[in-house]
Amino acid sequence: RRVHGGCSPYCNGTGTSALIYCEILIFVMLTTINRKLSIPRQGFFLKNPQLRFLSTTNTKWAGGNQYNTLAIEKPVEFVTHVKLNYPSKRNALTMESFQEIARCFSELHNDADCRSIILTGEGPTFCAGINIPTLMSIGTDTASLETSRRWYKLREIVGSIQRDLTSIENCRKPVIAAIHGACVGAAMGLITPCDIRYATDDATFCVKEIVMGLASDVGPLQRLSKIVGNQSWVREVCLTGRNFDTNEAYLNGLVSRSFSDYDSMLSAAMETATIIANRSPVAVQATKMNLIYSRDHSVQDGLEHILLCNSALIQSEDVIESVQSNAMKTKPTFNKL
């Protein structure tokens, strides 16, 4: 009654915010009691397949020089910097590149020491798209096959590339793409699965495949329309294959921020990644999971999904830590996930 009467600073006049705050406090108290009584936790995530995104067993990322086309750095705690590292070829993507991208993001998915990721390109260009010799070799390697068998083989190859790039979206850690120079063709399939996109003012974008006599098949046609609200613009750039600059990408929502140079962009990306890494990993990963789920489902389905998810997550020790640190104006410390 005192809360509904407005005595709490969290009351918004209707009592809604106060009720939410009271629920959190109740869970905090119950969880504290459970800890003191040493009540064992239940394997909720393992029993609920809809939450398998959060139930993967952690395996430590090996690190080191284990990639030929990527460079991996750990600039600050819990932040991983992934670089496309083939500057002599403008970071053009080969079959090895696609496979290493999938392996890298699969490992980071399970790396408890990684909570956010920055993706950049080494050298003057972010990524020039698919390597032309790689594209030609795909045609050459299947040329001698009978039509139906060639179809199956091509479907297998392109499908594997799609899965490799989708590994970025499936990675439970938020990914920030920091784009400079050219971002062309298959590179659009590389940035569209990312969660956040920054770009320098001199960046150039292009859904190039239609100029090569192809329909883009590695993600832009499917993801651009989900990212950008302007369907007319999406169809224009996909059907013409024309270049567009950072300003146009920003105005249409493909990138959220633009910068005068690479260094300032990387600094901002690092700042954002660090902020994310300092949040509760349980909350961050649940947020990414539910954003993706809600994108592909109805509003009601999304609400039911987050209801199921938060029924467990609100009991997390991270809620206690977040509430206490916020009240005491101190930096929270969260256990690895």
Give the pLDDT confidence of 49-102 residue by residue, as tens digits: 333 333 333 333 445 548 999 999 999 999 999 999 999 999 999 999 999 999
Judge contact between 164 and 105, C-beta under 8 A.
no
- pLDDT tops 50 at residue 233: yes
Of 157, 177, 34, 55, nearest to 105 by C-alpha is 177
- pLDDT tops 80 at residue 235: yes
- In three-state form (DSSP H/G/I as H, E/B as E, the rest C), the secondary structure along 159-201 is HHHHHHHHHHHHCCCCEEEEECCEEECHHHHHHCCCCEEEEEC
Average pLDDT, the chain: 85
- Could you give the percent of the chain with pLDDT greater than 90? 74
Cα–Cα distance, 78 to 58 (Å, whole number): 14
CA angle 304, 224, 120 (to 5 degrees): 100
Q: How far apart are the first and last CA of the chain?
A: 39
Helix ranges (H only) for the chain are 16-36, 44-47, 95-109, 132-142, 147-170, 186-191, 220-227, 231-240, 246-251, 262-277, 281-295, 299-313, 317-328
Any bridge partners for residue 79, and if so which? 76, 116
pLDDT in the model for residue 167: 98
Q: What is the mean pLDDT of residues 303-324?
A: 92
Any bridge partners for residue 70, and if so which? 84
pLDDT category of residue 140 using cuts at 50, 70 and 90: confident
> How do residues 15-55 score in pLDDT, each as one tens digit?
444 444 445 554 444 444 344 334 333 333 333 333 333 33
pLDDT category of residue 300 using cuts at 50, 70 and 90: very high
pLDDT category of residue 141 using cuts at 50, 70 and 90: confident
- Indicate the residue type of 110: N
**Ranges 5-9, 126-130, 148-152, 196-200: which has the least confidence:** 5-9
- Could you give the percent of the chain with pLDDT greater than 70? 81
Cα–Cα distance, 258 to 239 (Å, whole number): 25
Q: What is the mean pLDDT of residues 140-168?
A: 94
pLDDT in the model for residue 135: 84
pLDDT in the model for residue 267: 98
pLDDT in the model for residue 50: 35
pLDDT in the model for residue 24: 52
Distance of CA 165 to the CA centre of its chain: 11
- pLDDT tops 60 at residue 288: yes
